Amino acid sequence: MQFELTSEYLDKLRDAIDDKDAAFLNAQLHELYAPDIAEIINQLRDSEAAYIYELLDDETAPNVLLELDDDMRERLLATFSSKQIAEQLDNMDSDDAADVISELPQNIQEEVLSHIEDLEQASDIAELINYQEGTAGSLMAKELVSVYGFETVNACIEEIRRQTDNVDVMYAVYVVDNNERLIGMLSLKKLIISHPLARIEEIQDPDIQYVKTSTTSEEVAEIMQKYDLVVLPVVDQFGRLVGRITIDDVVDVIRETAEENIQRMSGLSDDVDSNDDLWRLSRARIPWLLVGMCGGIVGSRIIGTYEQQIKIHPEMAYFIPLIGAMGGNVGVQSSAIIVQGLANNTL
Amino acid sequence: MQFELTSEYLDKLRDAIDDKDAAFLNAQLHELYAPDIAEIINQLRDSEAAYIYELLDDETAPNVLLELDDDMRERLLATFSSKQIAEQLDNMDSDDAADVISELPQNIQEEVLSHIEDLEQASDIAELINYQEGTAGSLMAKELVSVYGFETVNACIEEIRRQTDNVDVMYAVYVVDNNERLIGMLSLKKLIISHPLARIEEIQDPDIQYVKTSTTSEEVAEIMQKYDLVVLPVVDQFGRLVGRITIDDVVDVIRETAEENIQRMSGLSDDVDSNDDLWRLSRARIPWLLVGMCGGIVGSRIIGTYEQQIKIHPEMAYFIPLIGAMGGNVGVQSSAIIVQGLANNTL
């Protein structure tokens, strides 16, 4: 069921790229989902990647771009003009587009924004890149369906038909008052099973969870996990509905936080993986090794003051590594338990 | 916005429990969500917990039960008769009910099952507890809405109205053929915006992700993350639709796996937290400490063979801890990078 990238398959694709066999490649790409295509492109050389990317249709290409590794995406975008980048962003959800554009240099950002045809999309993206990294504002997307409380179910369904062009995935309809302030929500299920002439106010659920744009990502992740939410509305400081956060973005936050914790615990000061270059890997590893070395040197000075005793009883030296290792192991275990307690708020 | 449990608030509730002030407690509990009530009960003594739980209404009580810490739930259920437990399970989703019942002793499981009034629910639970822990079968719930491909949108909406009693949260409708085999799905959005007389087959999306009951939880988590899914259908070995897995259960798998990794890396052989008793904590910590100690003793025997040299040059002993620590630190960093590479399939 799940796609598995084999090296034979990759070689076959590479040969087809060398032969510029667009028909074969198109047939292959059509069979695959965007994340799978991204997995393939990540393994290709830059020129091959650009060739494959060219072949993708307008709907698939932006999704593939999003799923690429950060450095492959950077290299691929570097070969694009501002106008070409703008075309890709036009077909993305606003939050994804904001993520991509915020990786570009400042001067190119403005150029790209000016080339986006859909003015609403451009202003949404411009708004989103202004929110600080690590807040609900930076996680949220602008695409949502909202209705006024005084409308009927029928009018609401009409409104959904109208607004739905912008919204790929929709789990709930938000209900706002005349001032665009969030007052409740309506599940699609409720909408389907309610009488067409019922007023939204009467069938909505006023008791909903929401966050402010300034709420931290960690708190958003915590709320969505605790209350088992799939989508969470975001309001500004006046309580007006400005966006929504979906669980898939939060799953990424949870995974990244866990990875970061493991790396921190093992004394890496930077986010690295085994494919990174030597310089980046060294830079991440050396700081805490230096701290460890300073500690070791202090330890050797202290042992040095017992020189005479060691001369007389050299067997004392045998147990230095044993005592050090046991102390270290117990310390690491205890810190793992305590750190986890802090992370889960059980402490 | 988010509920914060303060010790003053807890004291106030405790005083009310001592005074048997049901009116005040009911008013307080009514304001809170199930996960918040569970947070409170986790902090209470057993008799207080039982009193609070008694006060909850039929709809809230099962949700609170699910959110309790494992040991608190076990102690609370121990005070219940099989019939009372069965009543709680009757109001739960089948996957949650199966999780709760599988924690009970074998002989009580059958007694509880025999007391569940809704026979369909009882047989769903009995089916689910037979799937092996850690497979898609053990994660899935039986509650889903499925329609036949030959039906129309209108008939489908009628069917949803009929089936929807069992299904709390619904993100998609599954389409099956005459043999109950999964052939596609239909988003609620599509259903709302389609013509009432359109046939399901014509508007369904046949290109969907699914897993088998035997697929591992890790693979399920990987697929849902990779393809950004909120719900994933599960089929049996004949391709018949038997259940669905929602993202909130998978988020728990992701978090638990990450916690387990951190604990394994720090040499804990069991899942513990800082509130566990001394015996459990020791049992988790000692195995790898013993392994470390054996290593240390071997090390001391080796150093012992250089007794004469250490007597002559005791300054050699100064640097034993330094060399050992640096080697250990580099090793831990490397293993973190490699383990992460394996986990992400980037290696």
What pLDDT digit, counting tens, does each position of B185-218 carry? Answer: 888 778 877 888 889 888 888 888 899 999 999 8
Question: What is the domain partition of chain B in residue ranges?
Answer: 7-139, 146-246, 254-343
Find out if CATH 1.10.1740.10 is the number for domain B7-139: no
Mean pLDDT by 10 residues, chain A (347 residues): 78 88 87 89 89 88 89 88 88 88 87 89 90 90 87 85 66 87 86 85 88 92 87 92 89 80 74 74 84 88 88 85 85 79 67
> For the sheet containing B241-246, what is the strand order?
B211-212, B231-235, B241-246
* Chain B residues with CB-CB distance to A299 below 8 A: 321-322
Q: Of A293, A289, A221, A292, which is closest to residue A250 (Cα–Cα)?
A: A221
**Per-state percent for chain B, helix, strand, coil, to nearest 5:** 60, 10, 30
* Chain A residues with CB-CB distance to B252 below 8 A: 225
Question: Which residue in B252, B263, B340 is closest to A336 by CB distance?
Answer: B263
* Chain A residues with CB-CB distance to B273 below 8 A: 337, 340-341, 344, 346
The values of phi and psi at residue A216, to 5°, are -75, 155
CA distance linking residue A62 with residue A73, whole number of Å: 11
CA distance linking residue A182 with residue B194, whole number of Å: 28
In a 10 Å sphere around its CB, with 0-12 CB exposed, 13-18 middle and 19+ buried, how is residue A340 labelled? buried
* Chain B residues with CB-CB distance to A318 below 8 A: 300-301, 303-304
With contact defined as beta carbons under 8 Å apart, do A115 and A83 qualify?
A: yes
Higher per-residue pLDDT: B276 or B203: B203
* Chain A residues with CB-CB distance to B293 below 8 A: 322, 326
Mutation for testing the B interface, residue in A7, A63, A192, A330 having most B CBs under 10 Å: A192
Query: C-alpha A122: how far from its chain's center?
Result: 21
Give the H/E segment covering residue B246: strand B241-246
State the pLDDT at residue A258.
76
State the pLDDT at residue A154.
87
Q: Which residues contact B58 (CB under 8 A, 6 or more apart)?
A: B91
CB contact under 8 Å between A262 and B265, yes or no, is yes
Q: Of A288, A293, A321, A337, which is closest to residue B265 (Cα–Cα)?
A: A337
Q: Which residue of A has its CA nearest to B39?
A: A346
Q: Which residues contact B98 (CB under 8 A, 6 or more apart)?
A: B125, B128, B129, B138
Question: Which residue in B251, B295, B303 is closest to A251 by CB distance?
Answer: B251
CA distance linking residue A94 with residue A91, whole number of Å: 9
pLDDT beyond 80 at B340: no
The tens digit of pLDDT for each residue in A101-134 reads 988 888 888 889 999 888 888 999 999 999 988 8
CB contact under 8 Å between A292 and B347, yes or no, is no
Q: Which residues contact B328 (CB under 8 A, 6 or more apart)?
A: A325, A328
With contact defined as beta carbons under 8 Å apart, do B257 and B239 qualify?
A: no
% of chain B at pLDDT higher than 70: 95
DSSP assignment string, A261-297: HHHHHTT--S---TTS-HHHHHHHHHHHHHHHHHHHH
CA distance linking residue A60 with residue A178, whole number of Å: 38
Mean pLDDT of B115-136: 89
HSE value, Cβ hemisphere, 13 Å, CA-based, for B313:
5
CA distance linking residue B20 with residue B8, whole number of Å: 18
% of chain B at pLDDT higher than 90: 15
Question: What part of B 229-258 touches A (C-beta under 8 Å)?
Answer: 229-230, 247-248, 251-252, 254-255, 258
**What is the radius of gyration, based on Cα positions, of chain A?**
27
With contact defined as beta carbons under 8 Å apart, do B213 and B272 qualify?
A: no
CA distances from A33 to B178, B209, B264, B274 (A): 28, 10, 35, 44
CB contact under 8 Å between A188 and B193, yes or no, is no
CB contact under 8 Å between A254 and B259, yes or no, is no
In the block, tokens 């490649």 appear at A25
* Chain A residues with CB-CB distance to B328 below 8 A: 325, 328
* Chain A residues with CB-CB distance to B164 below 8 A: 189, 193
Question: What part of B 116-175 touches A (C-beta under 8 Å)?
Answer: 157, 160-161, 164, 167, 169-171
3-state secondary structure of A229: coil
CB contact under 8 Å between A293 and B344, yes or no, is no
Question: Which residue in B227, B263, B330 is closest to A33 by CB distance?
Answer: B227
CA distance linking residue B326 with residue A197, whole number of Å: 73
Find out if CATH 1.25.60.10 is the number for domain A7-134: yes
In a 10 Å sphere around its CB, with 0-12 CB exposed, 13-18 middle and 19+ buried, how is residue A149 labelled? middle
Q: Output the six-digit token pair for B126.
A: 């009995």
- CATH number for the B146-246 domain, one of 3.40.190.80, 3.40.47.10, 3.10.580.10, 3.30.70.360? 3.10.580.10
pLDDT beyond 80 at B262: no
* Chain B residues with CB-CB distance to A266 below 8 A: 265, 332-333, 335-336
Mean pLDDT of B101-114: 88
Cα dihedral sign, B259-A254-B133-B343: negative
Q: Of A196, A189, A148, which is closest to residue A171 (Cα–Cα)?
A: A189
pLDDT category at B165 given cuts 50, 70, 90 is: low
Q: Which of A46-50, A340-344, B62-66, B316-320 is least confident?
A: A340-344
- Asked if B47 is an interface residue toward chain A (Cβ–Cβ < 8 A), one would say no
Mutation for testing the A interface, residue in B266, B313, B332, B338 having most A CBs under 10 Å: B266
pLDDT beyond 70 at B329: yes
pLDDT beyond 80 at B167: no
With contact defined as beta carbons under 8 Å apart, do B182 and B239 qualify?
A: yes
Residue B80 identity: F
State the pLDDT at residue B190.
81
Longest dimension (CA), chain B: 97
CA distance A53 to chain B (A): 19
State the pLDDT at residue A135.
92
Q: ∠ at Cα B69 (B66, B70), nearest 5°?
A: 85
The values of phi and psi at residue A18, to 5°, are -60, -40
Q: Of B131, B91, B125, B132, which is closest to residue B110 (Cα–Cα)?
A: B125
Q: Output the six-digit token pair for A43.
A: 């393994």
Q: Output the six-digit token pair for A141.
A: 């997307």
Q: Which residue of B has its CA nearest to A173?
A: B189
